Amino acid sequence: MTATPPDNAGPVREAHRFDETRLDAWMAENVEGYSGGLRVCQFKGGQSNPTYWLADRERQYALRKKPPGQLLQSAHAVDREYRVMRALGDTDVPSAVMYALCEDESVIGTSFFVMEYVQGRIFWNVQLPKLEPAERQAIYEELARVLAAIHSVDVGAVGLSDYGRPDAYVARQVKRWTKQYLA
């Protein structure tokens, strides 16, 4: 199989390049079923944590990584993203299959994870102006269904009972955003 990169993926931007040979070797060792012949493109979105389209001879993947450079503590926590999405895998919340997390920065320069690539549409305008009313309704109904599914997840049952601090969330967020703004 020779997969074609999606329309919203292109060459890896200079500031986000990494050693693809090292990634290829890591995937061969850590991603079950990886068949080699790695190809890499970068998605146009995903600026907070750069996101890449990957393909081997058989499958397509997505990779999310911390950006390079000096980062604020607790920002860009790809390990947290990986843990939550992996925990949601057996729930009613749609999520990609998580393949592997790498916290060894010597592989591609920062921590990253590899997951299943799920083809879909990205809507940059939430009003969905280019869609017919029936299509918009279906999307909004699915959005509501998924939000309800997220809020119905028993965090203890999926192994996330130790995740986060439930107290003073808003105050912590405002403090963090203020610190980020002033940085």
Per residue in 30-40, pLDDT tens? 999 999 999 99
Which of 163, 9, 155 is closest to 79 using CA atoms?
A: 163
Query: 107 and 141: one domain?
Result: no
Q: What is the mean predicted confidence (pLDDT) over 70-78?
A: 68
Same domain, 138 and 112: no
For a pLDDT cut of 90, what percent of the chain falls above it? Answer: 72
| Residues 166 and 95 reside in one and the same domain | no
Strand 51-55 and strand 60-65: the pairing is antiparallel
Separation of alpha carbons 8 and 160, rounded Å: 33
Structural domain includes residue 4: no
Give the residue from 57, 59, 40, 41 showing the smallest Cα distance to 99.
Answer: 59
- Whether 67 and 26 map to the same domain: the answer is yes
The overall average pLDDT reported for the chain is 91
pTM of the predicted protein model: 0.85
Report how far residue 48's alpha carbon sits from residue 10's, in angstroms, rounded to the nearest whole number: 17
25-31: average pLDDT: 98
Residue 126 lies in a domain: no
Same-domain pairing of 39 and 112? yes
Domain-located, residue 124: no
Domain count, the chain: 2
* CB contact set of 22 (below 8 Å; sequence gap of 6+): 106, 107, 108
Claim to verify: residue 150 and residue 93 sit in the same structural domain: no
Residues 103 and 29 in one domain: yes
| Winning range, highest mean pLDDT, from 9-18, 24-33, 70-79, 155-164 | 24-33
**27 and 99 part of one domain:** yes
pLDDT digits (tens, 9 = 90+) for 85-103: 999 999 999 999 999 999 9
Domain holding 153, by residue range, is 133-182
- Is residue 54 domain-resident? yes
Give the CATH number of the domain where residue 15 resides.
3.30.200.20
